[in-house]
Amino acid sequence: MRVNNVVTKMQANEMAFGCNFSFPSTTLIELASMAGFDFVTFDSEHGPFTVDMLDDLCRLSSMAGLTPMARVPNIEDSTILRFLDRGIMGITGPHIINGDRAKQLANACRYVPRGKRSFGSGRGAYYGNFDSGPAYMEHTNNNILVIAQLEDVEVLDNIDDILSVEGIDLFASGAQDIAQSMGLQGQPNHPDVQAFESKVRDIVHAAGRKMAEDVMASVRAANLFLDGCKSYLAQSRS
């Protein structure tokens, strides 16, 4: 059964490296595998990813030895289930502002007894082709990574409740939306935004928890292309 490369690296105290896609591209996923990345992430909150696209993208990722992960557009059970049933092995839930939303995210991502995920016999569950249902569910629960994105000013009012929720593996920031929630729209590098991120990070670490950036690093596929092109053009024109 599929193993989550990020979880494996975390258990070995190693950093995992990935590529973040805001658009679908099977060719770039293949190249990401050839380059040696551990995972790919599909930004389905903002990117144009349909369910059938995700099915093929997850299929190719798995065949290429990459762990497919995604940021979902919302944390409704039905939304997250459609991603997991495609074969997504890591879910980032946006705008986790309190303990209730953190619990909703955690419950949607794993099977009983660690969550409330519904069972379906699609490709995410090997089309039902396994010897033991309990063994499959336990293995899958252990290989799903759940990330709560803390990107709203309200987070600090509820941070203790959020951190008390079982089933959240990592926490992530989101400077652009933090800036908006602070009335600093379009200013993700503003000192107040950076101070907010630093404070949240310190609280997470003090609670013995980890930020996503502590265990995984990712680069945007668009930036790999743009930065490479800009470098090439600069060198060619000099």
Count H helices and E strands in the chain, helices first.
11, 7
Check which CATH number belongs to the domain holding 98 and give it: 3.20.20.60
Question: For 60-71, what is each residue's pLDDT tens digit?
Answer: 999 999 999 999
| Amino acid 209: pLDDT | 97
Question: Residue written as tokens 């995984």?
Answer: 216
The total domain count for the chain is 1
pLDDT for the residue 238: 84
Tens digit of each residue's pLDDT (9 = 90 or more) over 125-168: 999 999 999 999 999 999 999 999 999 999 999 999 999 999 99
Give the whole-angstrom CA distance, residue 62 versus residue 87. Answer: 8
Residues 6+ apart with CB under 8 A from 47: 21, 22, 23, 24
28, 21 in Cβ contact below 8 A?
yes
Q: Which two tokens stand for residue 207?
A: 């609670």
CA distance 156 to 137: 34
Of the residues 46, 95, 139, 190, which is catalytic?
A: 46
Q: For the sheet containing 216-220, what is the strand order?
A: 170-172, 145-149, 90-93, 67-71, 39-43, 16-21, 216-220
Quote the domain boundaries for residue 218. Answer: 5-237
Q: Is 46 a catalytic residue?
A: yes
pLDDT for the residue 91: 98
pLDDT, tens digit, for every residue of 162-204? 999 999 999 999 999 999 999 999 999 999 999 999 999 999 9
At residue 116, the 3 state secondary structure works out as coil
Q: Please give the backbone phi and psi of residue 109, each rounded to the nearest 5 degrees, phi first.
A: -95, -20
